[in-house]
A = this chain, B = another copy of it.
């Protein structure tokens, strides 16, 4: 009954198998191997982006921080949601990689900001003097840190605002598969077709061991990116094992199947929580549930071994409802969902 995060779970068997399958023989190092070439091609195809530059790294923080450094100068302003992982949860890796760029947090409900909010912020940055730094890029997370999704039309609207100001749009897709699965759209519909310029396509949270794809839809945005990645210590000598993971996820749509599984578990969990007297804090649109649980339900669940995070700044007050975050994954078992719901209901 571990709902602490999607990264507490292991690696999908097909991903593990892929590591064995590519193990034979000598291959070129640092990405000059055929597995990497194939994986890059597969992701270009998956995103219907024949010109895109695709590169693989092992961590989401590495992927996001590299994109920030690639698209923003040290004196840049990077607009993101106040709850964005790049702003809140990466130990200021984007600032480090970019050598000082300013993350400018925007407000908005359920982890999303609106085109108007973005436009207003960009206007301020543009009107500003040197003191404010230079408008550099916009970053959204999809699915968001509150388990919600930006639909293609919403992404398009944000992209329009960003592009009008000459700013590229980055999508932190640590849970990109869950967003696509939740929205029932195409990967391309959610990205290059609606103006996304750079995508971090997450593998790790979705069954990989440690693998993310960094994708620049316009090769001009990727100029010299290989040097940057190398200098950051994010290039593997045995790159085939990064590529093989991402290949396995792409193969036969495994990435989507796994995300659908996780999302379905989240939906069921969210509905069950409401039935058990809890309240959803944000709509469940991907694989995360943010909810307020009755105190006794929470205590019962915890005391019987359920694992998830309390998600409030203050320690819970005695007897008061507790705000929590639960995350489902490709590895979440139906019986664990059932068991947790039983506990919450006091059944």
CB-CB under 8 A from A2, the residues of chain B are 26
CB-CB under 8 A from A311, the residues of chain B are none
CA distance A74 to B205 in the complex (A): 27
Contact assessment for B11 and A26 in the assembled complex, using a CB-CB cutoff below 8 Å: no
Q: How many of chain A's residues have a CB under 8 angstroms from any CB in B?
A: 76
Contact with B along A206-232 (1 / 0, CB 8 A): 000110000000000000101110111
CA distance A237 to B23 in the complex (A): 24
Contact with B along A1-36 (1 / 0, CB 8 A): 010110111110100100110111111111000000
CB-CB under 8 A from A101, the residues of chain B are 92, 95
Contact with B along A65-102 (1 / 0, CB 8 A): 11000000111000000000000111111011101111
Given A16-B19, A59-B235: A92 and B133 interface contact (C-beta under 8 Å): yes
Q: Does A201 contact B (CB under 8 A)?
A: no
CB-CB under 8 A from A129, the residues of chain B are 30
Contact assessment for A10 and B24 in the assembled complex, using a CB-CB cutoff below 8 Å: yes
Nearest B-chain residue to A226, judged by Cβ: B130
A208 CB, nearest partner CB in chain B, Å: 8
A3 CB, nearest partner CB in chain B, Å: 9
CB-CB under 8 A from A339, the residues of chain B are none
From the candidates B4, B11, B23, B232, name the one contacting A233 in the complex (CB within 8 A). Answer: B232
Contact assessment for B241 and A209 in the assembled complex, using a CB-CB cutoff below 8 Å: yes
Q: Does A62 contact B (CB under 8 A)?
A: yes
Contact assessment for A227 and B96 in the assembled complex, using a CB-CB cutoff below 8 Å: no
Q: Does A303 contact B (CB under 8 A)?
A: no
Contact assessment for B227 and A313 in the assembled complex, using a CB-CB cutoff below 8 Å: no
Task: Report the copy number of this chain in the oligomer.
Answer: 4
Q: Does A44 contact B (CB under 8 A)?
A: no
Contact assessment for B90 and A100 in the assembled complex, using a CB-CB cutoff below 8 Å: no
Q: Does A112 contact B (CB under 8 A)?
A: no
From the candidates B20, B91, B231, name the one contacting A231 in the complex (CB within 8 A). Answer: B91
Contact assessment for B227 and A210 in the assembled complex, using a CB-CB cutoff below 8 Å: no
CA distance A131 to B265 in the complex (A): 27
Contact assessment for B8 and A27 in the assembled complex, using a CB-CB cutoff below 8 Å: yes
CB-CB under 8 A from A7, the residues of chain B are 29, 237-238
- Give the one of A5, A7, A101, A231 with max B CB within 10 A: A231
21 contacts between A and B (CB under 8 A): A13-B23, A16-B20, A59-B237, A61-B235, A62-B233, A73-B224, A73-B227, A91-B130, A92-B231, A95-B95, A95-B100, A96-B99, A99-B99, A100-B231, A130-B227, A133-B231, A204-B237, A210-B236, A210-B237, A210-B242, A232-B233
